[in-house]
Amino acid sequence: MSKDKTILRALAGETLPTPPIWMMRQAGRYLPEYRATRAEAGDFLSLCYNSELAAEVTLQPIRRYGFDAAILFADILLVPQALGADLWFVTGEGPRLSTITTADELAKLKPADDIHEHLSPVYETVNILSKELPEETTLIGFAGAPWTVATYMIAGQGTPDQGPAHALKADNRTVFDGLMERITEATISYMSAQIEAGAEVVKIFDSWAGSLQGDDFARYSIKPMQRITQALKEKHPGIPVIAFPRGAGEKYIGAHAAIGADCIAVDDGVEADWVAANVQTGGCVQGNLKSTHMVTGGDTLVSETKRIVDALKGGPHIFNLGHGITPDADPENVQLMIDTVRGG
């Protein structure tokens, strides 16, 4: 691990003249080379579990753009599958899972430490990447946060309002808490194994954190991420952690200290000036260009990119989108964004 890597320097609290840059979902369907490799794999899950091909799609945006970090190509729902849930993808509709809503269904899940044989191809992907990435490129591992993963396991699919998870939380707190506990334990074990395989940074994605209201936000978004972060840092001293409680709004304030994360990723629902004044005071921040600019491009993309860089130049900052790049994005707009950040 090179301490000169710009991502690691920013995560350590250094304010850099040019922020390092990577992009959520940077290996994805907007790239023709990704689509070709996915076709070779046969389907999405086969791609996730084919270590050579998963490493290849992780490397593709690094070769094309020279991002400062590569993020492991995998999916947050591989952990539920490793725990024993059925998982499949419906073309054009997304993931489907067998549901966990009763004590009997919860009891049938595997223990958290029994996930590794199933997930061994993911660790092999990390191992391949740790050897093949350019020496200046940081390797990021990741997992979904327990609340977000639980919403899929309870509903059996993505939902607009996470209603089934909220309902189970209200109607059967024992089963809900038991599921959260199992996911939390498995996530610690999974991310620890990624670090052992070569991940230099890990990121926890709580994509649906914003739907938690009142005390539930702290109890079911912040505290599980804090527990995961603490466990990883105890086992792997010095490992940087990025936390992303998407949709947190004003609750981003104090998130560094509450979670213990080295960096808080912010979505595009908050302004960069506000982030500088209220969140960046706690440490490194990551974000937060709207993903739609990768579709529309033009002068607005340039001006918005410059505005964010300027607003966050007074502290440690990793430039990124406020959420993942979408399949309809133009690859040329990605290059324009990078050139703008780097002053080209």
Active site residue 25: yes
- Measured between alpha carbons, how far is residue 44 from residues 7, 48, 223 in Å? 29, 6, 32
Q: Are strands 241-245 and 201-206 parallel, antiparallel or unpaired?
A: parallel
In contact, 241 and 233? CB cutoff 8 Å: yes
Active site residue 35: no
CATH topology of domain 6-88+111-153+184-341: TIM Barrel (3.20.20)
Q: pTM (2 decimals)?
A: 0.98
Active site residue 227: no
Nearest Cα to Cα of residue 338 among 109, 12, 15, 22: 22
Structure tokens that stand for 115 in this block: 């996930």
**Gyration radius from the chain CA atoms:** 19
Structure tokens that stand for 139 in this block: 């390797």
Candidates 9, 29, 35, 64; catalytic one = 29
- How far apart CA 132 and CA 2 sit, in angstroms, is 15
pLDDT of the residue at 80 = 98
Candidates 34, 49, 75, 267; catalytic one = 75
pLDDT in tens, the chain (344 residues): 455 899 999 999 999 999 999 999 999 999 999 999 999 999 999 999 999 999 999 999 999 999 999 999 999 999 999 999 999 999 888 999 999 999 999 999 999 999 999 999 999 999 999 999 999 999 999 999 999 999 999 999 999 999 999 999 999 999 999 999 999 999 999 999 999 999 999 999 999 999 999 999 999 999 999 999 999 999 999 999 999 999 999 999 999 999 999 999 999 999 999 999 999 999 999 999 999 999 999 999 999 999 999 999 999 999 999 999 999 999 999 999 999 999 95
In contact, 149 and 80? CB cutoff 8 Å: yes
pLDDT digits (tens, 9 = 90+) for 229-239: 999 999 999 99
pLDDT digits (tens, 9 = 90+) for 143-169: 999 999 999 999 999 999 999 999 999
Candidates 34, 123, 152, 190; catalytic one = 152
Active site residue 152: yes
pLDDT of the residue at 2 = 53
- How far apart CA 141 and CA 256 sit, in angstroms, is 19
CB atoms < 10 A from the CB of 323, how many?
Answer: 23
Active site residue 38: yes
Nearest Cα to Cα of residue 78 among 15, 36, 126, 9: 126
Three-state secondary structure call for residue 202: strand
Candidates 9, 35, 38, 342; catalytic one = 38
- Measured between alpha carbons, how far is residue 339 from residues 18, 62, 66, 306 in Å? 11, 15, 11, 11
